[in-house]
Chains A and B, each alone.
Chain A
């Protein structure tokens, strides 16, 4: 009896991850889909104006979508070369002592709260960006993207490093035997062999950047126009949710529109994560023996 009882609980706990995930999907659909009773799907996805307080209110998420896209692309473009180079250094070049000191520091970076990064961007990076590009205000997409690139570095470094470590020793030995230098081996053998793992690292970094809220909320400038240049102030999808949810009346049009943004965000990150997972699986199988 006692045993059956506890095993029942174990089973229920096992199911909970599914329940929570389905619960999230259900809530986003239930609260978000009614937005289409007053806004056409086309106008919602491709409308360039977001006026929740106008009469009638207008909900077009293009400004947020473009902001998210721009910031994510820039932060990824900055973080990937640095992250992969760092991973290559740690796994192929650095003396053991150096990599053993550096790795915990990178882990600390992963642990720094995003609100802290937002504050650093606000207090230190934005005045710098402002004077560098001669901007009226330093809170813009570029500043946010730089902070985000820093935040996605730990995951890119650690997943890329795992991928580089998984490259069989025989590959490198064969390369040395042909007379290649260590660098030629890293560049022509290690990195190409680990490419799918590195791709997964990039996808995970992208997923992190798309979903990040506090840093972009504090640093990106919160303008509602569709951004044209990286130095424009902007509002990402996550920041739009954070900005709007406090004023939205439960069940009202704005409330629905915000949950619908959440739905779009959820689908985007889900797609990115599933791709990353697929690629990672393939990488694991590649060198499995």
Chain B
């Protein structure tokens, strides 16, 4: 009798664990499927011409060079605007801010900024950078918009990296008469550097894949030239994929998968880079 109950409890456990494992399989399989399927379907489209030529026939033939360059510029622009400000904000929060209402307000703002939908950042960028600042539908306006969106993430990761630097490092430096900023600059920042870079890499990977904001602030589907100034219009990989997949009739299927594959490789390689930096620093410690 007792063993029967024990057995049935064992069976319940086995069944439950199978379902839990199944849920994990359901979560993991689509990722692997998407990556493998995109590689197989898009691999055939990838050639030197595909990544080094301008598109022709409304994107149906030729390459995607200007979209790749545009995305590269967007990543660079996001980095240039979001990284220094994000790191300085992180320094303020960890090294200077006191525990008062202002600091709590900043933290509240960061948390909520992280949850603002990307399309709302697009409206913000359109109204402020495109129209009010008169940057027009440009690389500059889009970079600023993406940087505004990346800000919360860069601040959060910088703050965490700075907080992880042991207190003794600061005290040792201050004790020998070094000023606070010099301590931060020469002692704390170098220690926190890998963590900060990890956050920055993740942020630009996000910026590379982001579509909704640049759709609002004016990415173009086809342009005759690559942008030469920050005030020029631009093409971008994710927007190119969106238009090719959803709006261009008779688009060769292989080309769309090819664009998808290039986008996936760009975004995921930065994600993997971030993961490698993180693992390397953990090993060093």
Least Cβ distance of B167 to chain A in Å?
Answer: 19
Least CB distance from B1 to A in Å reads 16
Q: What's the minimum C-beta distance from B222 to chain A, rounded to whole angstroms? A: 15
Contact between A7 and B96 (Cβ–Cβ < 8 Å)? yes
- Asked if B267 and A111 make an inter-chain contact with CB atoms under 8 angstroms apart, the answer reads yes
Q: Which chain B residues in 65-99 approach chain A with CB under 8 Å?
A: 84-86, 88-89, 91-93, 95-97
Q: Is B32 an interface residue (CB 8 A)?
A: yes
Instruction: Determine whether the beta carbon of B212 is less than 8 Å from that of A214.
Output: yes
Contact A258–B123 (Cβ < 8 Å):
yes
Q: From DSSP, what is the main secondary structure of chain A's interface residues? A: helix
A250 to B241 alpha-carbon distance, docked (Å): 27
Check if B30 is an interface residue, CB within 8 A of chain A: yes
Q: Are B260 and A119 in contact (CB under 8 A)?
A: yes
CB of A102 within 8 A of CB of B30, answer no
> Which positions 106-124 of chain B face chain A at CB distance < 8 Å?
106, 109-124
Q: Say whether B216 faces chain A, with CB atoms less than 8 Å apart.
A: yes
A16 to B155, CA, bound (A): 10
The interface stretch among B12-20, B46-54, B169-177 is B12-20
Judged by a CB distance under 8 angstroms, whether A112 is at the interface is yes
CB A262 to nearest CB in B, in angstroms, measures 5
Residues of B within 8 A of A228 (CB): none
- Are the C-beta atoms of B211 and A114 separated by less than 8 Å? yes
Assess whether B56 is interfacial by the CB under 8 Å rule.
Answer: no
Residues of chain A contacted by B119 (CB below 8 angstroms): 211, 213, 238, 241-242, 262, 265
Residues of A within 8 A of B120 (CB): 24, 28, 211, 262, 265-266, 269
Please pick, from B10, B89, B148, B241, the residue contacting A116 in the complex, using a CB distance under 8 A: B241
Q: Are A112 and B264 neighbours in the complex by a CB distance under 8 Å? A: yes
Please measure, in the bound complex, the distance between the C-alpha atom of A13 and the C-alpha atom of B95, giving whole angstroms: 13
Beta-carbon contacts under 8 Å, B1-57 to A = 9-10, 12-13, 16-17, 19-24, 26-28, 30-32, 34-35, 37-38
The answer to whether A118 and B245 touch across the interface, beta carbons within 8 angstroms, is: yes
Judging by beta carbons under 8 Å apart, are A266 and B209 in contact?
Answer: no
List of A residues within 8 angstroms of B141 by Cβ: none
Cβ contact of B9, chosen from A184, A266, A269, cutoff 8 A:
A184
CA distance A154 to B118 in the complex (A): 18
| Contact indicator B96/A14 (Cβ below 8 Å) | yes
Q: Are A10 and B27 in contact (CB under 8 A)?
A: no
Per-residue 0/1 for A82-93: is the Cβ within 8 Å of any B Cβ (1 yes, 0 no)?
A: 110110111001
Cβ of A270 under 8 Å from chain B: yes
> By the criterion CB–CB under 8 Å, are B117 and A20 in contact?
no
Q: How far is the CA of A36 from the CA of B121 in the complex (A)?
A: 23
Q: Does A53 contact B (CB under 8 A)?
A: no
Q: Which chain B residue lies CB-closest to A259?
A: B123
Chain B residues, CB < 8 A from A27? 123-124, 127-128
A13 and B9: CB pair below 8 A?
no
Which of A166-174, A194-202, A271-279 forms part of the interface with chain B? A271-279
CB-CB under 8 A from A245, the residues of chain B are 122-123, 126, 216
Interface membership of chain B positions 257-270, coded 1 if the CB is closer than 8 angstroms to chain A and 0 otherwise? 00010011001100
Give the number of residue pairs across the A-B interface with Cβ within 8 Å. Answer: 256
How many residues of A are in contact with the other chain, CB < 8 A? 84
CB distance from B12 to the nearest CB of A (A): 6
Does B117 lie within 8 Å of A273, measured CB to CB? no
Scan B206-217; emit 1 where CB is below 8 A from any A CB, else 0.
101111100110
* Minimal Cβ-Cβ distance residue in A for B215: A242
Q: In the assembled complex, how far is the CB of residue B190 from the closest CB belonging to chain A, in whole angstroms?
A: 17
- The verdict on A102 contacting B275 (CB below 8 Å), with A114-B209, A211-B117, A270-B112 known, is no
State whether A116 and B181 are in contact (beta carbons under 8 Å apart), knowing that A109-B31, A211-B116, A211-B118 are contacts in the complex.
no
Are B24 and A94 in contact, CB atoms less than 8 angstroms apart? yes
Q: Closest A residue to B22 by CB, please name it.
A: A85
Distance between B215 CB and nearest chain A CB, rounded to angstroms: 6
CA distance A137 to B273 in the complex (A): 40
Given contacts A27-B127, A113-B263, A184-B9, contact A213 B93 (CB under 8 A): no
Chain B: residues with CB nearer than 8 A to chain A?
9-10, 12-13, 16-17, 19-24, 26-28, 30-32, 34-35, 37-38, 84-86, 88-89, 91-93, 95-97, 105-106, 109-124, 126-128, 131, 148, 151-152, 155, 179-182, 205-206, 208-212, 215-216, 238-239, 241-242, 245-246, 253, 256, 260, 263-264, 267-268, 271, 275
Pairs A–B under 8 Å by Cβ, sample size 28: A21-B109, A21-B116, A30-B127, A31-B123, A107-B275, A108-B31, A111-B209, A113-B211, A114-B211, A116-B38, A116-B264, A119-B260, A123-B245, A123-B256, A157-B27, A182-B13, A186-B16, A213-B117, A213-B119, A214-B211, A214-B242, A217-B242, A241-B216, A258-B123, A269-B120, A270-B115, A272-B115, A273-B114
**Other contacts beyond A10-B89, A16-B89, A106-B28: 11, CB < 8 A:** A17-B89, A20-B148, A24-B121, A24-B124, A108-B271, A111-B267, A183-B12, A207-B115, A214-B211, A245-B122, A277-B111
User: Which 4 pairs across A and B sit closest by C-beta, in order of nearness?
Assistant: A113-B209, A211-B117, A14-B92, A85-B23
